[in-house]
Amino acid sequence: MSWMDSRLEALRLDEEEKIRVQQETHQLEQQPPSAWLNLIAAIEANLAEWNCKNERTQLQLNQSAGQISLHHAGQLGSILELHLDPRALVVKYSAPTRQSNHWMRHSGELQINSEGLFAGSPGSEVPKPLTAAETSQFLLKPVLFG
């Protein structure tokens, strides 16, 4: 094999690798991880329970690809936003919460681990990996009862 053949073969392999990575990335973006889908289902179940028990403050969930936001029904401003980074398997959350007559920010990141659990970074509010139901409670409690 000549030097030119070797170089052309290396370029072809590089191109195949780029295509493979692009396809994997596209597939991840098209199919969110099951942990994310489980989290959305848990939040929807908690909101359905909240809306049944609390007639005056109804909440609604808006979803788009890799993002959900929680609103008071009939209002535009969100009270909780979640964003999924499918490549890093990270869920970013952000919500303003009222605590003791002042506003605080309930925000951070949760890593989706290989078991499909949600783990906070060291020193965060999340001491151990949480299931989707536990994560839903962690995210909603300050927003609903803060």
State pTM to two decimals: 0.74
Q: How big is the chain by its Cα radius of gyration, in Å?
A: 21
Cα–Cα distance, 71 to 93 (Å, whole number): 14
Q: What does residue 122 show for φ and ψ, rounded to 5 degrees?
A: -55, 135
How far is C-alpha 1 from the geometric centre of its chain's CA atoms?
50
Confidence (pLDDT) at 49: 93
pLDDT digits (tens, 9 = 90+) for 36-58: 999 999 999 999 999 998 777 88
Beta strands in the chain (DSSP E): 59-64, 67-72, 78-85, 90-99, 102-112, 118-119
**pLDDT-based confidence at residue 95 (cuts at 50, 70, 90):** confident
